[in-house]
Amino acid sequence: MRIKAWVASESPSRLTHPDLDILASVTRAIHYECPMGIEYHSISSGRTVREIVPFALIDNGLRWHVRAFDRKSQEFRDFVITRIKRPVVRKGQPVAPHEMNDQDIQWTRIVELELVPHPDQPRPEITEMDYDMRGGVLHMKLRAATAGYILRKWSVDCSPDHNLRGPEYRLWLRNHLAIYGVRSAVLAPGYRSPDQHRLEAETD
């Protein structure tokens, strides 16, 4: 028997859905704290065979990633779940201390952000209401590894002089230097590191 909803509602659908078998293999490797072999497809490198040590899943609102130590590059990286093929969980295989998540600086680093109504948008009091701000500021604490994803999802203007235009930019990152050294900051709208600013000024 069909049950009628009390209140009509609608939520945006996802454009991508991860393969549940692959997702299950990833979660098993995380649970057993062991490496896994994968075939990975990236835009820059194409198809590669890698061995990773996964430790966390990340939902950036658009797609799922797994945070892992990559033995090929010897770095901690994010891998898109839909780009992983032929996973093999290597249960019982040892993991080195430098491959553990407590060695991932971007994962353990917490950045404190101050989001304010965009100075170039009208009616800042409405933005304060929408985001439940206190004193005109929304304070957020995020992992450095995920900060760029979230700032992009929320369309936060991360330029130092709030120069992004468009109705989607309701928020401005007032303390943009807080994400200096954050690798995911390349995804943050309008963000330029102080080094980039200095180089641009020298070439003007």
What span, in angstroms and rounded, lies between the C-alpha atoms of 59 and 149? 9
pLDDT band at 202 (very low <50, low <70, confident <90, very high): very low
Taking only the tens place, the pLDDT of each residue in 12-41 is 666 778 889 999 999 999 999 999 999 999
Rounded Cα–Cα distance for residues 156 and 119 (Å): 12
The pLDDT of residue 201 is 43
Whether 155 shows a pLDDT value over 90: the answer reads yes
Please give the domain boundaries of the chain with CATH numbers for all domains: 20-103 (2.30.30), 109-203 (no CATH)
Percent of the chain with pLDDT over 90: 79
What is the DSSP-derived secondary structure letter of residue 92? T
Per-residue pLDDT tens digits for 90-140: 998 999 999 999 999 999 999 999 999 999 999 999 999 999 999 999 999
**Which residues fall within 8 angstroms of residue 82, CB to CB, at 6 or more apart?**
16, 18, 19, 63, 64
- Give me 153's structure tokens: 């999802």
What pLDDT score does 203 carry?
36
What per-residue confidence (pLDDT) applies to 6?
Answer: 76
pLDDT of residue 200: 47
**Summary mean pLDDT of the chain:** 90
> Residue 72's closest CA among 105, 33, 97, 99?
99
pLDDT at 196: 59
